[in-house]
């Protein structure tokens, strides 16, 4: 094969397929310490380990929520944390048929000579780290590459660097038993229209899949985490059906059928927007050889966070808010979302210009 078929091949294929189960999706709870700090401070909660632990315990023990999830992405600290009863989070997830995943990149750095374009760090000892994470129970990984749209962006250099980085990360993961989620995020920032976003997304995805082929990555054992194709943040919004049409067309033109599932990032979309867009894609009557699901961070946690506000007495209510978003997105993966879970908080835009996390 052109693909590397190592000792983990069957397991990778099985796990990738499971994560792509219709009706399920991923909770991205892998905010780094710095980023989760911003979330916590927005609800006036101190950024200390016990609070970070309390938040994740709230999420992972939400009654019935886990049945709508196939995976949760964790930050390294969280992989080794436990509930207040002393049960490892990894076990809580496994007991509920949720596969633990791990963020393995180390953030972005600027590419010299470009206009603020970046490449992603994290290769040092990546193989060894993946082995450690596998031992700790992780079975998939995530690495975020970032591209932006500007008059001369994304540059060919940025596209190549990020595509090659994703491919190298992906093969190292597969060598060590972790399904790589390939995330080439094209930021929504800018005044461009949806056609521009579509053109850039297609160019980026084509480069990514060429790089994955060059690096012998086994596509059946990967997942894609792309942006939806939307107008830029400074451009007028369009209907969900339009977003669905452009997004699915872009994916049909670039993502080989061997990829089992596509799990969208939510970018700066509100909880409700992200759900409605995902639902529209799954309602679209066109052939889609991969499942279309979610890997949401902010778009799953926003109202939960605000409802919690760091107070123990709010935990139950916060967990209900979380369950509500999980259920809504589960329905969206089946094209069966009827709307109506949009509380005021759920409709709040989560867009932050030049977002870094």
Judged by the rule CB under 8 A, the positions of this chain that interact with other proteins are 1-3, 195, 198-203, 206-207, 209-210, 213-214, 219, 249-250, 252-258, 287-289
What minimum distance in Å lies between the beta carbon of 348 and other proteins? Answer: 32
**248 vs 305, beta carbon nearer other proteins:** 248
- From the CB of 13, what's the least distance to other proteins, in Å? 12
Considering the complex, state which of residue 191 and residue 289 has its C-beta at the smaller distance from other proteins: 289
The rounded distance, in Å, linking the Cα atoms of 6 and 77 is 29
* Nearest C-alpha neighbor of 185 from the set 240, 218, 229, 122: 229
Q: Report the half-sphere exposure of 257 (CA within 13 A, side-chain side).
A: 3
User: What is the β-pairing status of strands 140-147 and 179-186?
Assistant: parallel
356 as an active site residue: the answer is no
Which of 131, 249 has the CB closer to other proteins? 249
Among the residues of the chain, which ranges form H helices?
Answer: 9-19, 33-42, 49-60, 76-79, 89-95, 126-135, 156-175, 194-214, 240-252, 271-283, 298-308, 315-333
- Catalytic: which of 31, 57, 183, 273? 183
Q: What angle do CA 283, 288, 290 make, to 5 degrees?
A: 115
Comparison of 48 and 286: residue with beta carbon closer to other proteins? 286
Cα–Cα separations (whole angstroms), residue 239 to 110, 194, 231, 263: 34, 11, 10, 20
87 noted as active-site residue: no
- Output the six-digit token pair for 21: 């189960």
Smallest gap from Cβ 200 to other proteins, in A, equals 8
Catalytic hit among 24, 142, 148, 225: 225
CB of 246 to other proteins, least distance (A): 9
Known catalytic residues are 183, 225
């Amino acid at each position: 094969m052109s693909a590397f078929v190592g000792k983990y091949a069957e397991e990778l294929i099985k796990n990738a397929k499971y994560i792509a189960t219709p009706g399920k999706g991923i909770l991205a709870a892998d905010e780094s310490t710095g980023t989760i700090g911003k979330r916590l401070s927005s609800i006036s909660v101190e950024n200390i380990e016990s609070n970070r632990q309390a938040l994740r315990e709230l999420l992972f023990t939400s009654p019935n929520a886990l049945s709508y999830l196939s995976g949760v992405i964790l930050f390294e600290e969280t992989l080794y944390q436990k509930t207040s009863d002393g049960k490892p989070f990894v076990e809580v997830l496994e007991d509920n048929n949720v596969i633990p995943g791990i963020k393995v990149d180390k953030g972005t750095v600027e590419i010299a000579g470009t206009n603020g374009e970046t490449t992603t760090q994290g290769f040092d000892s990546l193989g060894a780290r993946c082995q450690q994470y596998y031992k700790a129970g992780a079975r998939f990984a995530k690495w975020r590459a970032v591209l932006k749209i500007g008059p001369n962006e994304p540059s060919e250099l940025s596209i190549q660097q990020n595509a090659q980085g994703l491919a190298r990360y992906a093969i190292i993961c597969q060598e060590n038993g972790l399904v790589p989620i390939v995330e080439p995020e094209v930021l929504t920032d800018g005044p461009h229209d949806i056609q521009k976003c579509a053109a850039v997304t297609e160019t980026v995805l084509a480069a990514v899949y060429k790089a994955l082929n060059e690096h012998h990555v086994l596509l059946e054992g990967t997942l894609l985490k792309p942006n939806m194709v939307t107008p830029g943040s400074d451009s007028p919004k369009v209907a969900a059906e339009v977003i669905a049409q452009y997004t699915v067309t872009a994916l049909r033109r670039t993502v080989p059928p061997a990829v089992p599932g596509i799990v969208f990032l939510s970018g700066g979309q509100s909880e409700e927007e992200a759900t409605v867009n995902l639902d529209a894609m799954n309602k679209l009557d066109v052939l889609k050889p991969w499942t279309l699901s979610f890997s949401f961070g902010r778009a799953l946690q926003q109202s939960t966070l605000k409802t919690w506000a760091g107070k123990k007495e709010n935990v139950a209510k916060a967990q209900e808010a979380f369950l509500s978003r999980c259920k809504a997105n589960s329905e969206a993966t089946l094209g069966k979302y009827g709307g109506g879970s949009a509380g005021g908080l759920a409709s709040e835009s989560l867009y932050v210009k030049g977002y870094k996390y």
